[in-house]
Amino acid sequence: MNTVSICFVCLGNICRSPTAEGVMRHLVNEAGLHERIHIDSAGTGDWHIGEAPDPRAQRAAGARGYDLSALRGRQIAQADFERFDLVLAMDEANVAALRSVCPPALRDKIRLLMGFASPAASLEVSDPYFGGAEGFEAVLDQCEAACAGLLAVLRKRLAA
Ligand code: 4NP
């Protein structure tokens, strides 16, 4: 049985990437594909290692049925580029930081998450950390759109 492993990445791993992880886990479980699609998240920074997602992210996600409470912050490491098939960044700054850690031969694995949204209104998921509650809703809207597109792509990859 072939499988695929994906890792969502933002700066802190407490707002955007845990939200994407929660949304994608939900979609993958609903599709009965949890044994075939492995999901994780990480931050490019080290400030929030071991922390639960931001309470605002947890609250906004919980209201839409996504439970982020078990997730804990961690920092991306070079070995992650071997373990994962796709490393999905929230913004261009994340991409630049990832490229500086990634072995050059594996750089094709780094993509912008929003590239999987159709149509992609914005190619970046904006950082909600220093803003208000509406920023967390926007992150959820974007993650829901992109993760649906991503699941469709992964289904094809698993069937190939
Ligand atoms: P995230 O948001 O990258 O979506 O997890 C942030 C979380 C923390 C910080 C910045 C962005 N920070 O500066 O601590």
Coil vs helix vs strand at 106: helix
Å from CA of 70 to ligand 1 middle: 18
Q: Three-state DSSP class for 9?
A: strand
Section 83-100 average pLDDT:
98
pLDDT band of residue 84 (cuts 50, 70, 90) is: very high
Q: Residue 146's pLDDT is what?
A: 97
What residues have CB less than 8 Å from 21, skipping those under 6 apart? Answer: 8, 39, 40, 41, 68, 71
pLDDT tens-digit readout, 14-64: 999 999 999 999 999 999 999 999 999 999 999 999 999 999 999 999 999
Q: Given 15, 91, 127, 143, which residue is catalytic?
A: 127
| List of domains in the chain | 4-159 (3.40.50.2300)
- Angle between helical axes of 133-159 and 55-63 (0-180°, round to 10): 70
- CA triple 95-100-101, angle to 5 deg: 100
| 28 beta partners | none
**Atom 9 of ligand 1 has which residue's CA nearest to it?**
12
pLDDT at 120 over 80: no
CA dihedral for 93, 95, 100, 101, sign (positive or negative) = positive
What percent of the chain has pLDDT above 90?
Answer: 96
pTM beyond 0.95: yes
What mean pLDDT is reported for the chain?
97
